Amino acid sequence: MISTKPTQKSSTFNVFFHLRKTAAKDGKFSVYARITIDRKRIELAVRQFVDRSDWNEAKGIAKTKKEELKVLNNYLEQMRASFVACYREMLLSKKVITTESFKQVYFGKDTNEFTLCKLMNYHNQDMKETISWGTLKNYFTTEKYLQKFLKERMHTSDISLKDINYKFVTSFEYFLKTFKPLDHHKPIGNNGVMKHMERFRKMINVALKNEWLEKDPFKAYKLKFNRYERGFLTTEELALIEMKNFSFERLQYVKDLFIFSCYTGLAYTDAMQLTPANLIRGIDGEHWITTQRQKTGTAVKIPLLPKAKHLIEKYRNNPKSLNAGTLFPNISNQRLNGYLKEMADVCKIDKNLTFHLARHTFATTLTLSNGVPIESVSKMLGHTKITTTQVYAKVIESKLSDDMKLLKQKLDKKQDEADHKTAQPE
């Protein structure tokens, strides 16, 4: 088996010959070339036949005890060389290399052009193993809007990468901002548009890194996100929910899960995936949660507050938890947020209660407002930058007031000490 490792980081190429499992009419077996590109396979018939007893399956060649078998091996090596030559030609031409594009080039059906649709397909296939399904779904949505833009504004189904310029980028932005859905969905807001543009730019960056595109059409383009204050529960609102007991088991469980996030800062997916293995003894000898954020892959360590620890003990032996091997019974994010709306009505809390609001509450009301340094909060939230935490968790006004009162007391004390020294006789 030949393995070709080119300069493109993400691309690998292997050729291996093998026999079909079922015999042909004359009892011989058909030889096939198995070509693997980035762990994706295609099978190509080489129109040669051989007895299974004359085939070395481990080496992927015929045994050389007969002259005609030596001729067969020479032919297979020529086929292998032609496959490798085709692959190297695609590399030199900076083509998007997939099993399908390789097959098209090898059989002379290639369009000799890098296109936007090919790039989107390549990106989404390449990212499948490295990003969460939730994030990948967002890329599929961006791809859908790009396809709509091509059809409705460009009057085409695809476009060459070399034709994507700054005008194309800004025209796509304008298309998103003026797009009017025919269904029940709302028009896309500014930040929604910016997220689509951000994902489009990331796809273009893949083309630039692989040298399929010479100029960056996003070079002069700036993303313009509107900044909003993040919602959170006040201490009083959190207490209202904590004190409320629900007769319906589903609402009580949703309440407990929400409170757990308020005291740990864990997002829905990370909370649902917790297992007993995520509970450890920390450096202080106390119970901690150690996990990895699914969204970013960042390691997270959180010392357990008593209320969070109590909720873990409450549900860890639940039959559904034991069956799934998790600390909490599974519930879908959609159902969870639906029940949270119901819970907000019962508790008379006039806020858009979502599970993510619990994460905001942990950052703002539970930690920053109680003097936990922003660096520690950032670590527990799994942020890689302090600036992310600053946007995520604004310090509330009562904390600012308390801080200023402490400062006032210190200044008054210093002034009293200065006045006392001045009053002392020399």
Query: What are 278-330's pLDDT values in tens digits?
Result: 999 989 999 999 998 887 778 899 999 999 999 999 999 999 999 999 999 99
Sheet containing 2-4: which strands, arranged edge to edge? 2-4, 13-19, 29-37, 40-50
Copy the structure tokens of residue 174: 């304008």
DSSP letters spanning 283-332: TTSSEEEEEE-TTT--EEEEEPPHHHHHHHHHHTTSHHHHHHTSSS----
The 10s digit of each residue's pLDDT in 85-137 is 888 888 887 777 888 888 877 776 555 567 898 888 888 777 766 666 667 88
The whole-angstrom distance between residue 393's C-alpha and the CA centroid of its chain comes to 22
Q: Which CA distances in Å does 209 have to 166, 213, 215, 244?
A: 18, 8, 11, 55
Residue 313: the pLDDT is 95
Report the C-alpha gap between 223 and 258 in whole angstroms.
Answer: 33
287-292 and 29-37 as β-strands: parallel, antiparallel, unpaired? unpaired
Overall average pLDDT of the 386-392 stretch = 73
40-50 and 55-56 as β-strands: parallel, antiparallel, unpaired? unpaired
Report the C-alpha gap between 370 and 364 in whole angstroms.
Answer: 9
Burial of 62 (0-12, 13-18, 19+ CB in 10 A): buried
Q: What is the pTM of this model?
A: 0.56
Partners of residue 33 on adjacent β-strands: 17, 44
CA dihedral 216, 220, 221, 227 (to 10 degrees): 130
Superfamily the domain 235-395 falls into: Intergrase catalytic core (1.10.443.10)
